[in-house]
Amino acid sequence: MRKDKQKAIEMRKNGLSYRQIHAALKIPKSTLSEWFADERWSREIKKKLAQASADAGAVRLKELDKVRGEHLKRAYESAKEEARFEFEKLKYNPVFIAGLMLYWGEGDKINKYHVRLTNTDPELIKLYCFFLTEVLRIPASRLSGHILLYPDLDDWLCRAYWTKASGLPNRQFMKSTTIAGRHKTRRLSFGICVIDISSTYLKVKVLEWLKLLPNELMNKRYYENIAP
């Protein structure tokens, strides 16, 4: 056995990431992956590291509510770097990938102040909220809902429907908006649900993840590193 492999094993079992081991021992990350990818104990450490990274990101997001001016500007400049680091930690989490794909298809990519997704499928909304709260560790209290209604729909019934689907309490839903449908007879039974988070910092990170996602999913090595 290589002398540095035993040291790497000890460091990994102590909860260090590939990045930290590489910095200390100069062992390529690809070599570390070959050594540890099939080890169940190492996969558990990977999960814990990913969770810790997500928790830390959620704490920073909450703290940014208190930051203004130039300090906030500098924080946004670091958002892309943080996103790239977190992407490496989370890219094998299926819910992380699913959540990004949902946002890629249904999310707002233009407004820089809001992370906003709109859809009519309750299961999609449920999964998206799970992605935000359980993977990105965004406090549920930061999420807000908004319902777009057709004139003939009952607001109370639609609110009950979407609060159940999203898991958000009624108080976190804004006043519903009545819209005119394009077709007089083809109407959605419960309107359209919008899930929103007001955060430029998070929006910068989400857009950076979406830039990284396609190339990663088309990279053969990505699948080689997925544990069987």
The answer, yes or no, to whether residue 69 has pLDDT greater than 70, is no
Closest C-alpha among 175, 202, 180, 169 to residue 80: 202
The answer, yes or no, to whether residue 127 has pLDDT greater than 60, is yes
Query: 26-40, 145-159, 163-177, 208-222: lowest mean pLDDT where?
Result: 26-40
Side-chain half-sphere of 66: how many Cα atoms within 13 Å?
A: 4
Residue 131 CB partners (closer than 8 Å, separation 6+) = 95, 96, 98, 99, 102
C-alpha to C-alpha distance for 91 and 76, rounded to whole angstroms: 22
The answer, yes or no, to whether residue 219 has pLDDT greater than 70, is yes
The answer, yes or no, to whether residue 166 has pLDDT greater than 90, is yes
What's the pLDDT band for 227 if we cut at 50, 70, 90? low
Query: What is the rounded average pLDDT of the residues 203-216?
Result: 95
pLDDT of residue 91: 93
3 state DSSP class of 89: helix
DSSP annotation string for 9-76: HHHHHTT--HHHHHHHH---HHHHHHHHTT-HHHHHHHHHHHHHHHHHHHHHHHHGGG--HHHHHHHH
Q: Beta 177-178 vs 144-149: how paired, if at all?
A: parallel
Residue type, 130: F
Q: Beta 192-198 vs 177-178: how paired, if at all?
A: unpaired
What's the pLDDT band for 156 if we cut at 50, 70, 90? very high
